A = this chain, B = another copy of it.
């Protein structure tokens, strides 16, 4: 056992201990010849997906199922004076109307709200829910609920919210925790005083909604006192526990299933009110209840990446060596507690002795922020990398040379060496693939109003994963195996990755394995699929469980082959003698002979259990990447076209180049949306979102796609874990916007300080004139 951390429970400090695996396999050596790992295996569920057989939560319709629709606040801040549901209840087909009057008092948002609250703090906050025979009746009934609201003053932007006379959304004011979060190392003032060049700029990043193609949804069904919830979620086991707490059930009585999900990006990490309301209604009515958010609800009330206003000051010596970095960040968390920090990249990526960040999380009357793929890092990197390009220009340095000059071999926040750091390879291989050093010649080819530009940006992400992570592997009498993981595959090909890890360790070909994920029944605990945790947290337990099975398999084989188990190994579905590899026996024959009982056929299985130990505390583990963007900007219309992105990433061992590239491409596309298209627009006069649909809220489409070239730096990290991997889920979205912004500035000779880079903002920047410094305005 090893002490992991100390947490506060009911006011008392409690130590959290982790069992350190004793028989965890040692890391594979870097040059080990792999049979399955690193190979471009197509996804194991590819057929299900392309044939439409893969069933998502939206697809599930149970016999006797009812539908729930939610009435949401039409006003950004109000108290409910009265609510009359009688007309709605009288509508034929309506089974139940839930409001604060009859729903259980389940605390929500860290106790600042309830499942159904009488104070509404944003447009979209839950007022009531109708359960009816179908969704159309439920929707009709919503309009029949009579409510009298006492409308309150509201505030939509964080700077106004911080004014002393701003409407207070919560007691204690609109600044979360009453103070900014301040980080400091060295002496920033001294660092700026020592600088030869200093730049300062203010950057404004948009509120980006997750825009999941499968909107949030759940189906709840009871059998006696046992609840099954099909939920489009990134966290079946944590949500099971949260449901158990909310409904005061034993954890064991709750089952959560999510076999496939159509996008989450962080917005499906936690438990949702509608899921609990559906479970409450299903229990009351004795029938299954389904709830799906429509596209507008998805935009209004499913979470978002918060908007940030970031002022960055950066100073360096003539040779480009950084002397000081500073960021002031104001982030809007929405109506309830959340996080809106953006300073991590500035604190972490580049070598700098004097760093200070001051960050304020501010309540506004809008939907609550939720983790959105690389929270904080996307906007923080976008701002930082632009400021660095401005500083590099002052020094007359190539942007890549400037970054290499400030390359850090250590984690300066934790004061630890990195386990491995492949950023230099990302820069070098990415630049080579991109033709970074030929860009002057390519820029000269620009014709007329369409200007070419080139930019790059860097990425750090703490993709170490860690406990909890468990796995069970069964090897059957026919020599096939099954992997049980409590995690879920949220579209990132986790099933395929885990299966490859197990196949490699067992020495089986992938066709001999199958896997269960996304179902709490019969799987050991798995954590959230978020924070790029899934692979580094789950793959080591899967390997350990497979190794435990292999140990037993080799014992059986040793007796059958009359050889010591230590001399035996497995590969390609054979057990073989390492001293004489032609002496071998199919694994299926070993299991059949070793596990077949005296009766009629196979009767047994081998079982292995694996779990995740804590990370080493003498190194820092991070994933790395650099992206290079080529853009073409039409200086007449202001339109930006991304021509090409080269994305070079290092996340330890490459498990599967196909799925790794797929992960990178998805990140680049989403990062492009942040850079160029996506922005929640609130109407100040009503507090409502004006683009709560996919017609007005633009996400990148197939026609917007640039050429994307993925460079996977394969650098197994033996200190990270036994599989040598780090997380790759979030990294690829992080540097895209910064690379594009720098490329746009390169093309224009003028910089757009506000994302998304819309045609109007491009034209405004051109009108404002060429400038190496400047910033966004301080009000919207």
Contact = CB atoms under 8 A, between A and B. Distances in A.
Contacts of A184: none
B600 A53 contact: no
B516 A522 contact: yes
A603 B252 contact: no
Interface stretch (A202-210, A299-307, A436-444, A472-480): A472-480
Interface string A543-564: 0000000001001100110000
Interface in A588-642: 592-598, 600-605, 607, 609, 611
Interface stretch (A8-16, A77-85, A416-424): A8-16
A556 B17 CA distance: 8
Residue picked from A253, A519, A600, most chain B C-beta under 10 Å: A600
A652 B482 CA distance: 36
A515 to B, nearest CB: 9
A67 to B, nearest CB: 17
Contacts of A242: 600-601
A406 interface: no
Interface string A13-49: 0111101000000000000000000000000000110
Interface stretch (A100-108, A243-251, A445-453): A243-251
A468 B525 contact: no
Q: Which of A519, A594, A603 is most buried by chain B, counting CB atoms within 10 A of its CB?
A: A603
B600 A470 contact: no
Contact of A525 (B245, B525, B605): B605
A270 to B, nearest CB: 7
A605 B476 CA distance: 26
A463 interface: no
Contacts of A601: 238, 241-242, 245
Nearest to A1: B555
A495 B16 CA distance: 33
A559 B6 CA distance: 13
Contacts of A596: 7, 9, 14, 16
A61 interface: yes
A467 B511 CA distance: 29
Given A48-B223, A480-B250, A482-B252, A603 B527 contact: yes
A226 to B, nearest CB: 7
A251 B519 CA distance: 19
A676 interface: no
A521 B514 contact: no
Contacts of A164: none
B241 A470 contact: no
Interface residues of A, number: 76
A584 interface: no
B604 A478 contact: no
A238 B595 CA distance: 13
A47 to B, nearest CB: 5
A425 B592 CA distance: 44
Contact of A468 (B4, B5, B19, B603): B603
A53 B224 contact: yes
Contact of A53 (B63, B223, B556): B223
Given A48-B223, A252-B481, A522-B523, 11 more contacts: A7-B598, A15-B559, A15-B560, A47-B224, A53-B223, A61-B63, A241-B601, A245-B478, A251-B482, A252-B514, A607-B609
Contacts of A1: 555, 559
A254 to B, nearest CB: 10
A179 to B, nearest CB: 22
A252 B476 contact: yes
A250 to B, nearest CB: 4
Given A593-B9, A596-B9, A514 B14 contact: no
Nearest to A63: B61
A7 B484 contact: no
Contacts of A593: 9, 14-16
A694 B730 CA distance: 66
Contacts of A17: 555-556, 559, 594
B252 A19 contact: no
A343 interface: no
A339 interface: no
A513 interface: yes
Contacts of A63: 61
26 contacts: A7-B596, A9-B593, A16-B593, A17-B594, A19-B552, A48-B224, A51-B224, A53-B224, A55-B223, A238-B600, A238-B603, A242-B601, A251-B476, A251-B477, A252-B513, A253-B480, A253-B514, A467-B597, A467-B604, A468-B605, A470-B605, A472-B472, A474-B525, A519-B521, A525-B604, A609-B609
